[in-house]
Amino acid sequence: MSSLAIFNDWRTVKVVGVNFVDDYPDNLLGLADYIDTYEPSGSGYLCRIELRRNPHNQYDSNAIEVRLSSTDEMLGHLPKELAKRIAPDMDEGVSWEAGIVSVDIHPDHRDRPGLTIEIRRLL
């Protein structure tokens, strides 16, 4: 059994590095204004996400970028340990799908939003 078998179902992931992206925090605040809800089945996401390998990333050769599918806007990265597990499969041509779960805004820190997505490996 593949070590990635747990990813055949949706898995919730906090996106990292969102604060290093151009237009942060306005990019996520604008996204939050647009998104109301999502469908847990994965079929009704208002904003689809693309997971894109970037083996030339100067900080992590396993880097996987999180991008808004409709505009190709970079939103952040998958966490390093998760990317390390997924990158070899992506390099072999295995496809993944993702959707936004929420833009996380603390009422006392509106200037520091985060992003939560769901991912799953396509069989």
Q: For 33-51, how does the pLDDT look when each residue is reduced to its tens digit (9 = 90+)?
A: 887 544 444 555 567 899 9
Q: How does 75-85 read in b/e, with b if 16+ C-beta sit within 10 Å? A: bbbbeeebbee
19: confidence class by pLDDT, cuts 50, 70, 90: very high
User: pLDDT grade, residue 1 (50/70/90)?
Assistant: very low
Residue-wise burial string across 6-29, b where 16 or more C-beta atoms lie within 10 A, e elsewhere? ebeebeebebbbbeebeebbebbe
User: In three state form, how does the secondary structure of the chain look?
Assistant: CCCCHHHHCCEEEECECHHHCCCCCHHHHHHHHHCCCCCCCCCCCCCEEEEEECCCCCCCCCCEEEEECCCCEEEEECCHHHHHHHHHHHHCCCCEEEEEEEEECCCCCCCCCEEEEEEEECC
Report pLDDT for 6: 52
Question: Tell me, what's the pLDDT at 33?
Answer: 83
Report the predicted TM-score, pTM, of the whole model to 2 decimal places.
0.85
Q: What is the pLDDT of residues 69-89, one digit of tens each?
A: 889 999 999 999 999 999 999
